[in-house]
Amino acid sequence: MALLGKQIARGSVAGQRVVSRPAQVAGRVSRSARLSTVCKLHKICVLPGDGIGPEIMTVAKKALSLAGQKEGEEFQYTDCLIGGAAIDATGKPLPDETLATAKASDAVLLAAIGGYKWDTLPSAQRPERGLLAIRAGLNAFANLRPAIVPRQLADSSPLKRELVEGVDILIVRELVGGIYFGQPRGFGTNDKGERIGYNTDVYSEPEVERIARVAFEAARKRGKRLCSVEKSNVLEVSQLWKEVVIRVGKDYPDVELSHMYIDNAAMQLLRNPKYFDVIVTGNIFGDILSDEASMLAGSLGLLPSASISGAGPGIYEPVHGSAPDIAGQDKANPLAMVLSAAMMCRYDLAIPKVAERLEKAVDAVLDAGLRTGDIYKQGTPNTKLVKCSEMGEALFAHI
């Protein structure tokens, strides 16, 4: 199972150049007896975040380092604060130091943010604001979320095996526009004196065009099918979206373009998920659909994501949240975090052999029947319930 095998490489995104930064000599030979070459150094901004974040990040960093050693690559990690942890330490969900470090890095590895502890804060001060701010600060406008059902876990899906086995979808979500960033926004009162909250869903033609090109390029290197999801029967912003996507599509005659309203798309993801190859959609619709699609595999704990701009460092994070209810209990599933590190190696760092080692290790532990609680199904033959740390040790052994 090459979980990311059908995804596009960073260099193919919207015609952008391959990001292959000059190799920096680490100044020493790796300690690994199997390596005789000097390692290349990759600077990674690490954001463990909140909840289970530090636990899964610990596994991912060690797995990444081990895989790198085998392939003559070295990683320099700089841990920074974001989200609730940053609020507790600095009063801000995204400290200036964190954003500066991220911009100076080759890539950003993010675990999870948020938790019950900070839910009562004003909206502008909550952990999620840190996530939105770093995406905007790095101009990471394209969110790539694969929804793949591993063959070992097809029976763990809430849907029937025949519906989900072989599903391989890539959702391309616009990430720095739309209703999450549109202005004006806030609270006020209407002409009746009633309190209201309001947000603005707005996209410009250039914003739609650049995300559409990312999606068309992705589809061109996969199954050559792209479905654009919007709500153009109701929303003017969606009418503009559809017009621009159709126009961009003329540059990609080899890609079959279809259109679907968001409500129908949500239904078809459950009714006939194999219909989809690549989906392109706006910020809020992409947020909803990607979480829904991730459950085709039975758990949010299996799927990685990449947020990229085509230039500069990207942000790599698992789709799942911080799971504060199990934080610190060694119950978390680290596989999505490890696969996010694999995506980082492919898209930003241009070291696919390291990515392959990580992906094969994930494949091996699933083949061995190891399951954390989120993917464990009691009574399934040849499976074993393991802790986060135990899953990590198994991964390290296979790497």
**Structural domain spans, the chain:** 39-157+298-398, 181-293
**Which pLDDT score is estimated for 35?**
36
Q: Which CATH number fits domain 181-293: 3.30.1360.10, 3.40.50.2300, 1.10.10.10, 3.40.50.300?
A: 3.40.50.2300
Catalytic residue among 50, 277, 287, 348: 287
**Residue predicted with more confidence, 342 or 27:** 342
Mean per-residue pLDDT over the chain, rounded: 89
Nearest to 298 by CA among 235, 371, 196: 371
Query: Per mean pLDDT, which range of 37-41, 165-169, 322-326 is the poorest?
Result: 37-41
Burial of 343 (0-12, 13-18, 19+ CB in 10 A): buried
Across 27-31, 221-225, 368-372, 390-394, least confident range: 27-31
Q: Say yes or no to pLDDT of 351 above 90.
A: yes
Catalytic residue, chosen from 231, 252, 316, 348, is 231
pLDDT band at residue 17 under the 50/70/90 scheme: very low
- On the 0-12 / 13-18 / 19+ scale of CB atoms within 10 A, 203 is buried
Beta strands in 309-397 (DSSP E): 315-318, 370-371, 384-385
Tell me if residue 374 is catalytic: no
Give the Cα separation of 305 and 351 in Å (integer). 17
CATH T-level fold of 39-157+298-398: Isopropylmalate Dehydrogenase (3.40.718)
User: Does residue 201 have an active-site annotation?
Assistant: no
Per-residue pLDDT for 183 more than 60?
yes
156-181, pLDDT tens digit by residue? Answer: 788 888 888 889 999 999 999 999 99
- List the catalytic residue out of 50, 61, 106, 180: 180
pLDDT band at 28 (very low <50, low <70, confident <90, very high): very low
Lowest mean pLDDT among 293-297, 338-342, 367-371: 293-297
For residue 34, is pLDDT > 70?
A: no
User: Which pLDDT score, from 0 to 100, does residue 39 have?
Assistant: 58
Q: Has residue 353 got a pLDDT over 70? A: yes
- The verdict on whether 291 is a catalytic residue reads yes
Say which residue, 134 or 291, is predicted with more confidence: 134
**Average pLDDT of span 12-27:** 33
The catalytically annotated residue of 224, 242, 291, 367 is: 291
The answer, yes or no, to whether residue 38 has pLDDT greater than 50, is no
Looking at residue 284, its pLDDT comes to: 97
Q: Is the pLDDT of residue 129 over 80?
A: yes
Q: How does residue 379 score in pLDDT terms, banded at 50, 70 and 90? A: confident
CA 215/CA 218 separation, integer angstroms: 5
Average pLDDT on 363-372 reads 95
Residue 152 has a pLDDT of: 85
SS (H, E, C) 28-74: EECCCCCCCCEEEEEEEEEEEECCCHHHHHHHHHHHHHHHHHHCCEE
Alpha helix segments (H runs only) across 149-204:
161-164
Residue 363 appears among annotated catalytic residues: no
pLDDT of residue 304: 93
pLDDT (0 to 100) of residue 258: 98
Does the pLDDT value for residue 361 go beyond 60?
yes
User: Does the active-site annotation cover 180?
Assistant: yes
* Catalytic annotation, pick one of 96, 155, 263, 325: 263
